[in-house]
């Protein structure tokens, strides 16, 4: 009887891990496309109406904190490859926003320099683990702040013409999938899991806003 229960638990563990890996791979595949609709929309419109520059900065910083932490502790690449892809695409979106809004000022150039310095220090493993953990904890309000700024920007403009609904829908799914996969594959990292859970909730609000304000614009015509 005990042996049967043991094998049953092992089978369940294998099932959960298989589902987790399947979700991880789906997230990685979707991450390749996640930000491309937004990149194309911003490029085509030559505009970034409804998008928050500060929100993009905070999102990029949150991405990099997660990447640095996972890289330092040697997590399996499937648990954060999507974050690397999304961070790369977000960097391109931020550059386009700065360009179209003529915001390549001293402040943003300094932030770019500091951001690259942080990446180099992370790759060289020169950031102390205690400091990295503080960054991860701070990443929760940073990530949430980026979404809240985007929510406020859309609420203020009442215009989602230059904001890609597809991008935010994919990102929402990725966050939801990561809540499950990380809870299975990485034990004890509650800060990271909470971060994804909060992001999934706030991303869902942004998706709702995109549909709401696009419909309002349609009714006006």
In this prediction, residue 42 has a pLDDT band, given cuts at 50, 70 and 90, of confident
Q: Is residue 27 part of a domain?
A: no
Q: Is residue 7 part of a domain?
A: no
> Is residue 101 helix, strand or coil?
coil
| CB-CB neighbours of 158 under 10 Å | 12
Convert the pLDDT of each residue in 100-113 to its tens digit.
888 888 988 999 99
Tokens standing for residue 169: 């829908």
Q: Is residue 169 part of a domain?
A: yes
In this prediction, residue 187 has a pLDDT band, given cuts at 50, 70 and 90, of low
Number of domains in the chain: 1
| CB-CB neighbours of 55 under 10 Å | 21
pLDDT at 92 over 60: yes
Q: Is residue 45 part of a domain?
A: yes
> Is residue 167 helix, strand or coil?
helix
In this prediction, residue 35 has a pLDDT band, given cuts at 50, 70 and 90, of confident
Q: Is residue 25 part of a domain?
A: no
pLDDT at 218: 47
Convert the pLDDT of each residue in 126-182 to its tens digit.
999 889 889 888 888 888 888 998 899 888 888 777 788 888 899 999 999 988 888
Where in the sequence is the domain holding 165, given as residue range(s)?
Answer: 33-220
Nearest to 54 by CA among 186, 148, 180: 148
Q: Is residue 212 part of a domain?
A: yes
Q: Is residue 57 part of a domain?
A: yes
Q: Is residue 106 part of a domain?
A: yes
């Amino acid at each position: 009887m005990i042996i049967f229960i043991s094998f049953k638990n092992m089978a369940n563990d294998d099932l959960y891990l298989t589902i987790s890996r399947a979700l991880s791979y789906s997230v990685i595949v979707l991450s390749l496309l996640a930000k491309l609709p937004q990149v194309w929309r911003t490029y085509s419109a030559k505009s970034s109406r409804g998008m928050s520059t500060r929100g993009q900065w905070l999102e990029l910083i949150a991405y990099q904190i997660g990447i640095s932490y996972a890289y330092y502790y040697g997590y399996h690449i499937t648990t954060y490859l999507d974050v690397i892809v999304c961070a790369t695409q977000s960097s391109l979106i931020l550059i386009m926003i700065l360009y179209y809004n003529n915001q390549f000022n001293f402040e943003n150039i300094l932030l770019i320099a500091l951001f690259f310095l942080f990446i180099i220090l992370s790759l060289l493993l020169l950031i102390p683990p205690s400091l990295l953990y503080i960054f991860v904890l701070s990443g929760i309000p940073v990530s949430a702040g980026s979404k809240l700024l985007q929510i406020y920007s859309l609420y203020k403009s009442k215009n989602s013409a230059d904001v890609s609904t597809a991008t935010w829908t994919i990102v929402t799914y990725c966050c939801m999938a990561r809540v499950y996969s990380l809870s299975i594959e990485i034990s004890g990292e509650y800060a990271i899991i909470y971060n994804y859970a909060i992001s999934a909730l706030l991303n869902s609000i942004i998706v709702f806003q995109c549909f709401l304000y696009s419909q309002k614009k349609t009714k006006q015509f």
